[in-house]
Amino acid sequence: MTRARRTKIVATLGPASSDPEMIARLFEAGADVFRINMSHLPRERLAETVATIRAVEQRLRRPIAVLVDLQGPKLRVGRFADDAAILENGQSFVLDGDAAPGDATRVHLPHPEILSALEPGHTVIIDDGKLRLTVTEVGPERAVTRVVVGGRISNRKGVSLPDTTIPVAALTEKDRGDLDAGLAAGADWIALSFVQRPEDVAEVKAIAGGRAMVMAKIEKPQALGCLDAIMEVADGLMVARGDLGVEMPLEQVPGVQKRITRAARRLGKPVVVATQMLESMITAPVPTRAEVSDVATAVYEGADAVMLSAESASGAFPVEAVATMNRIAEQVERDAIYWSIITAQRTPPEPTSSDAIAAAAHQIVETLGLGAIMAWTASGSTALRLARSRPNASVIALTPKRETARRLALAWGTHPIVTNDASDIDDMSFRACKFAVREGFAVVGDRVIVVAGLPFGTPGATNLVRIAEVTREHAAKA
């Protein structure tokens, strides 16, 4: 199944999309990656869900990426004597270490490490921004705040701390168990929530040990202060705009999205734009015009993927949401303005043989007007290097490793195919042309670029580029 677009679609699975038939329909509508949100899925069902995706993959004969999204540390207030209380603007309200039920004057904050990290002037946001407090005084196991934006506060509401560096690791004990389960089930990507520092990502990568790629979710302002270091460690990035929009002024989020997208592209690391992209389609069969524009903006920026959350997980129109996102991406990529933006943002190649080959392939595509780059790759790095420059040609990644093909399903413009490694240069060119015809990227008389590394099967050894013409013999073998 060949996509008519380069931007990939991530669809979250949930109650509305958990059975094999619906997963197959979502893939056929345009989903390339399925996200499993461990905030909602019981761990004991993870292996079963991944197995269902793999069964669909085998039936449809296309690599599908599985993204396991870890919950991360969830900060919440305790309980109230009457299940809720009303906070008035300007009043004093205490967060403390007392486990007794709260009232309109105080509540338990069951995170002593947070109480010790708060300082006067820090902002405390509760219930996704519905209530806002400012710390005025701190003491042993308590913080006195002034209510800036009041309202109803109830049991176990979430707490966000935009000014406070949380002295806890992004990987909780629950996450460790979910991570082990995800790796055992064969996840291709692991998304780490609430990353604050590069060490958070390095910890997960050490545990994964190369069994899965690690994606850093950027959803806290603290991560922006060391973004470059986080990006160096991570295999991919996600712009998690929901929590970003709670912990920093909403008007700053679009600029942050562009900054992260462009920085990830410069490094050649996949970047996903997420949260509320087609939110109205949870309950409506069509999106708003503003949502269409939002998705289009991410595509124009050259994001590797755009993501659906509740729209596909629990919404009433999951297939329609994926199909809508697919149509938006296809339309944007047909626009001449799209390519002018993409071209303007291209990054000069680094002084490495891999980048030199990728740059040469890109130049050949533009000079000869070719439509396909056939990349032989074991680790996937060759395909990612080619996709980094966003060529106006599809990157067909030929790999002997199924896990590599699945991981590349997330990368911009990449069409992964699992096949035996090439035996020699002639075999490399012949089978590349054969697959170009079989997958619909070329016809007899077309030329394609073949990129590979010698000796074959050596990761990171990209050192060869060849122009090959598709013949009737290639078409007959396809």
The residue type found at 26 is L
H-assigned helices in 376-442: 381-388, 402-408, 425-438
Q: Is 35 a catalytic residue?
A: yes
Please give the Cα distance from 80 to 68 (Å, whole number).
34
| Catalytic residue (one of 35, 62, 388, 406) | 35
Catalytic residue among 164, 261, 275, 399: 275
Closest CA to 312 of 1, 32, 4: 32
Of 332, 441, 363, which is closest to residue 397 (Cα–Cα)?
A: 441
Question: What are the distances in angstroms from CA 335 to CA 332, 342, 365?
Answer: 5, 11, 19
Catalytic residue, chosen from 62, 217, 388, 407, is 217
Q: Respond yes or no: is residue 266 known to be catalytic.
A: no
**CA distances from residue 134 to 95, 131, 430 in whole angstroms, order as listed:** 11, 10, 67
The radius of gyration of the chain from alpha carbons, rounded to an integer in Å, stands at 24
Cis previous bond, 455, omega within 30:
yes
DSSP letter, residue 252 = G
Active site residue 217: yes
Structure tokens at 417: 């195919």
User: 76, 176, 262, 401: which one is catalytic?
Assistant: 76
- Within 8 A by CB and 6+ apart from 259, the residues are 227
Residues known to be catalytic: 35, 76, 217, 275
